[in-house]
Amino acid sequence: MMAVAILAAGTAMASANATGHWQVQVTNGADLNTGVVTFNQVGQTVVGKLKNTTINGTMVSDTKMNGKWNGPHGAGWITLYFAASGKSFQGEWGYNGKKAGGQFVGKKIMSAMAPAGSTKTK
């Protein structure tokens, strides 16, 4: 029985860490926006920036972040699920008091490769 407990402790997943630069795709109906979000995580608190939008979140589990966003086009909520590998996330966002407005998907990139801007396509 003790061997099982030791084995289980040795295979426990580490918590995802959101710190870094992420190439993101954000959908809003038929619109697709891309860009780079930079997250900084200290403890369970996550602060992010995507152009003129700020994201303030809390890691509520090892891989789930609940947060709020505020930008030039309004404010709302965001829920992200980070992969155990720490290399990607997916989630959804919405305006305050409303259901999900779209998807928010990201892949971690190296700092030196972070593009300077973001684009919008239809």
CB 58 within 8 A of CB 65: yes
Alpha helices in the chain (DSSP H): 2-10
Report pLDDT for 19: 96
Strand partners, 90: 81, 105
Measure the CA–CA gap between 84 and 42, rounded to whole angstroms: 18
Do 90 and 103 touch, CB atoms closer than 8 A?
A: yes
Nearest CA among 49, 34, 47 for reference residue 103? 34
Q: When comparing pLDDT for 13 and 14, which is higher? A: 14
- The third-level CATH classification (topology) of the domain covering 18-111 is Porin (2.40.160)
**Cβ atoms of 118 and 36 closer than 8 Å:** yes
Q: What is the dihedral of CA 88, 90, 96, 99, to 10 degrees?
A: 180
pLDDT of amino acid 11:
42
Higher per-residue pLDDT: 5 or 36: 36
pLDDT value at 14 more than 70: no
pLDDT of 17-76, one tens digit each? 999 999 999 999 889 999 999 999 999 999 999 999 999 999 999 999 999 999 999 999
Q: What is the pLDDT of the chain when averaged over all its residues? A: 86
| Element spanning 79, H or E | strand 74-82
Measured CA to CA, the distance from residue 114 to residue 91 in angstroms comes to: 21
Looking at residue 13, its pLDDT comes to 53
